[in-house]
A and B are shown apart, each in its own frame.
Chain A
Amino acid sequence: MAVLDLRGREEECGASPVHAAINALRLLKAGERLEVLTSVREHSFTLAQWARKNGFAVHVEEHGREARLVFEKAS
């Protein structure tokens, strides 16, 4: 499973790290999974909401500010 680590990536001059994750999710084929790590709750919220609306199963684990999200593209 591929892992995308958004921690420490911020919008200083370009697109939000969230959009990098969404672009990665769009590339997944049915049954494939992607793990995303983030320490920003806004990112977790956005990604989980977007994924559920776009046909992904989402599993979220939160430990304080750190979150691990696993997305699976529906078959």
Chain B
Amino acid sequence: MSAAIKQYAVPDVLVSTEWVAQHLSDPQVRIVEVDYEPETAYRLGHVPNAVLIDWKRDINDTVRRDIVSKEGFEKLMSRLGIAPETTVVLYGDFRNWFAAYAFWVFKIYGHEDVRLMNGGRRKWIDEGREVTEEVPSVQPTSYRCRGIDLGLRAFLPEVTYAYQRDDVKLVDVRSPAEFKGEITAPPEYPTEAAQRGGHIPGAVNVPWAQAVADDDTFKPVEELRQLYESKGVTPDKTVITYCRIGERSSHTWFVLKYLLGYPTVINYDGSWSEWGNTVGLPIEKGE
């Protein structure tokens, strides 16, 4: 484990690109690329031996607007050749947003050893490491979840109660323009739009990208602590992260829970696309 990773509260959840390069053929390790747009990522080249999770198709139920069901998750793991004891390393496009979301889903379904590749797809390519278009053949498994942890996930009724409490801090990780209500969703994502722009009352804005360096690796622990504590996001509070659909907030959820070790961090994946469209819920605009 590199010194840069050892500093974090739970360092076992993060691996370096070098670690991945050394475990490409390790039978105990399954490397998984998680893409929002596989056609412009995995299918053009990926880490050798990596399998694909197509975020929209594989890990979401687009009919229910929900994460994949337990049964669906078990089928996905079985198809990807993952057993409950497999070390799963996730990375992906869009600067690891969707890999972080997948990490969150893996934890909800109780997968013990799941890790993120620090810096993701961008760093791997930037370092000039090998990529391939070859899709590996894997031996399917019969995966069974060991438990479900819904405590990692906030639903709307909980958030409508929690935002009024002093011992809860909501962290809006969207861009400042989204937080202020100047935009809701970019035109290329019509299904993510909200009828109102703004944020949940009392939320603080800490854009997700402030947690990463130029190469997309996570910032040192002291910088992260300073970043969040300066906004009143402290470990004595229950912290709820949200964005527009829950993927950028998974990234911040990961930072707070595993890199800083905050005891209670919950991701609200309904996020602004739910809150901003719900009749009767208050919002705030501006800073």
A residues near B (Cβ < 8 Å) are: 10-16, 18-19, 22, 40-42, 45-46, 49-50, 53
Residues of chain B having any CB pair with chain A under 8 Å: 37, 40-41, 44-45, 93-95, 97, 121-122, 125-126, 128, 131, 174-175, 177-178, 183, 185-186, 188-189, 207, 209, 244
Among A13, A19, A45, point to the contact of B37 (Cβ < 8 A): A19
A45 and B94 alpha carbons, distance in the complex (Å): 14
Query: Are the C-beta atoms of A46 and B41 separated by less than 8 Å?
Result: yes
A50 to B44, CA, bound (A): 7
The answer to whether A15 and B188 have CB atoms under 8 Å apart is yes
Closest residue of chain A to B176 (Cβ to Cβ) is: A12
A13 adjacent to B178 (CB under 8 Å): yes
What is the chain B residue whose CB lies nearest that of A13? Answer: B175
Which of A13, A41, A50 makes the CB contact (< 8 A) with B126? Answer: A41
Least Cβ–Cβ distance between B214 and chain A, in angstroms: 9
Cβ of A18 and Cβ of B40 under 8 Å apart?
yes
A42 to B126 Cα, complex, angstroms: 6
Contact B189 A14 (CB under 8 A): yes
- By the criterion CB–CB under 8 Å, are B207 and A14 in contact? no
Which chain B positions have C-beta within 8 A of A16? 37, 40, 93-94
Give chain A residues whose Cβ lies under 8 Å from the Cβ of B131: 45
| CB closest residue in chain B, given A49 | B44
Main secondary structure of the interface of A (DSSP, over half): helix
Q: How far is the CB of B146 from chain A (nearest CB, A)?
A: 34
CB distance from B211 to the nearest CB of A (A): 13
Nearest residue in B to A16 (C-beta to C-beta)? B94
Chain B residues near A13 (CB, 8 Å)? 174-175, 177-178, 183, 185-186, 244
Q: Which residues of B contact A46 (CB under 8 A)?
A: 40-41, 44
Closest 7 CB pairs of A and B: A14-B186, A49-B44, A13-B175, A42-B122, A12-B175, A41-B126, A42-B125
Q: Note all chain B residues with C-beta closer than 8 A to A53.
A: 44
| A45 proximity list for chain B (CB < 8 A) | 44-45, 125, 131
Query: In the bound complex, how far is the Cα of B119 from the Cα of A41, in angstroms?
Result: 13
Q: Is the CB of B40 within 8 A of A15?
A: no
Nearest-neighbor residue (CB-CB) of B207 within chain A:
A12
Is the pair B188, A19 in contact by a Cβ cutoff of 8 Å?
yes
Q: How far does the alpha carbon of A17 sit from the alpha carbon of B281 in the complex, in Å?
A: 34
* Complex-state Cα separation, A11 to B207, whole angstroms: 11
By the criterion CB–CB under 8 Å, are B45 and A49 in contact? yes
Partner of B122, one of A12, A14, A40: A40
Chain A residue contacts of B186, Cβ below 8 A:
13-15
Q: Smallest CB–CB gap between A37 and chain B, Å?
A: 17
CA distance A44 to B179 in the complex (A): 31
Q: Which residue of B lies closest to A21 (CB)?
A: B40
Q: How distant is A21 from chain B, measured CB to nearest CB, in Å? A: 10
| Shortest CB distance B55–A (Å) | 14
Residues of A within 8 A of B94 (CB): 11, 16
**Contact (Cβ within 8 A) A50 B40:** yes
Contacts A12-B209, A16-B94, A49-B45 known; list 16 others, CB within 8 Å: A11-B94, A12-B175, A13-B175, A13-B185, A13-B186, A14-B186, A19-B40, A40-B126, A41-B122, A41-B125, A42-B126, A45-B45, A45-B131, A46-B41, A46-B44, A50-B40
- Complex Cα distance, B209 from A14, in Å, reads 13
Q: In the complex, which residues of chain A have a beta carbon less than 8 angstroms from the beta carbon of B189?
A: 14-15
A55 to chain B, nearest CB (A): 15
